[in-house]
Amino acid sequence: MFEEKKMISIGNAPCSWGVEFADDPRNPPWRRVLSECAAAGYSGIELGPVGFMPEDPTVLADALAAHDLTLTAGVVFSPFHDPSKWNDVLDRATRTCSALVAHGAQHLVLIDSISSRRAPTAGRPVEAEQMSVAEWTAFVERIRTAAKLGTDQGLTVSIHPHAGGFIDFEPEVERLLGDIDENLMKVCVDTGHHSYAGFDPIAFTQRHIDRISYLHFKDIDPEVKARAVGERMGFYDACRDGIFCNLGKGDVDFPALRNLLLHAGYSGWCTVEQDCDPAGPTSPLDDAHTNYKFLSSIGF
């Protein structure tokens, strides 16, 4: 059992402290996020939105070392769907890659952020608007360009489906995986977003286990999900309503996922992401500790 557990390392991410955008004045101090992440038992942490943590490598390296934390990944959560924002997206990707390389982190995660065209149909795959052929082709090329930026610097790049974006539902994920070479782009499974979209994250993981390089652990409160889908609730409204509950309290079968990953020989990082409102009523430290205890209790 000891050797099995050592195959998988568990980290957390700034979004579990409500950090979605670097310039949100409600964000907690970055040093507090590092301190509380370590205090809750985690050995790794993601970069968060570029600009939240210091971009001076020496400053951040010293802080990570002080808390015995490994920088695991960086996420580019940006509107890949919007060609008018491409220069900004590329800038974020470039700066994120620089930070990851400076700290020896491995994973660059690409996420198409929420679109006003898709937000009302989050969780409703049949109703979701689809891109035209020309839009899709250009969209894929932008993702491919960002992926190559990472792989050219030795990073492992993965696509991450997200509620309210244009890579949300399984058919879109499958289509993208078919359009971009697996040597250029892997998959980051997010258990919560997959469930939010109405699909089975365990079955998807099993089907694509050879292409999965990284995982985000979220759980979904089924009652809140039903309400969010039924009322066409916005993503951040759903977060405030508690759609992402503590791990083990929702509809994701984490023991089954653990068994699948260990049987497949998965070795690497799995990162807890319990998206929340930075001004919300819950304590991120308490949630982080509760989630760590749950994962430990089932053998992670």
User: What torsion, rounded to 10 degrees, do the Cα atoms 123, 293, 202, 44 define?
Assistant: 90
| Mean pLDDT of all residues in 135-146 | 98
Is 248 a residue whose pLDDT tops 60? Answer: yes
Query: Is the pLDDT score of 121 beyond 60?
Result: yes
Per the DSSP assignment, residues forming a β-bridge with 71 are 45
pLDDT, residue 238, reads 86
CATH of the domain spanning 2-297: 3.20.20.150
What DSSP line would sit under 285-296, residue for residue? HHHHHHHHHHHH
- What pLDDT shows up at residue 282? 79
Taking the C-alpha atoms of residue 206 and residue 202, their distance in angstroms, rounded to an integer, is 6
125 residue type, one letter: P
Reading the block at residue 274, the tokens are 């319990």
- Asked if residue 5 has pLDDT above 50, the reply is no
pLDDT beyond 90 at 195: yes
- pLDDT of 59 strictly over 90: yes
Residue 27: pLDDT band by 50, 70, 90 thresholds? Answer: very high
Q: What is the pLDDT of residue 207?
A: 97
Which pLDDT belongs to residue 278? Answer: 80
Phi, psi of 217 (to 5 degrees): -100, 115
pLDDT value, residue 81:
98
Is the pLDDT at 169 greater than 80, yes or no?
yes
- Among residues 72, 79, 39, 80, the alpha carbon closest in space to that of 53 is found at 72
Helical pair 57-66 and 30-39, crossing angle rounded to 10 deg = 30
Share of the chain above pLDDT 70, in %: 98
pLDDT above 90 covers what percent of the chain? 90
Looking at residue 277, what is its pLDDT? 79
Question: Quick check: 205 and 212 in contact, CB under 8 A?
Answer: yes
Write down the domain spans for the chain. 2-297
pLDDT of 162 over the 80 cut: yes
**C-alpha to C-alpha distance for 49 and 232, rounded to whole angstroms:** 27
Q: How confident is the model at residue 6 (pLDDT cuts 50, 70, 90)?
A: low
Does residue 4 register a pLDDT over 60?
Answer: no
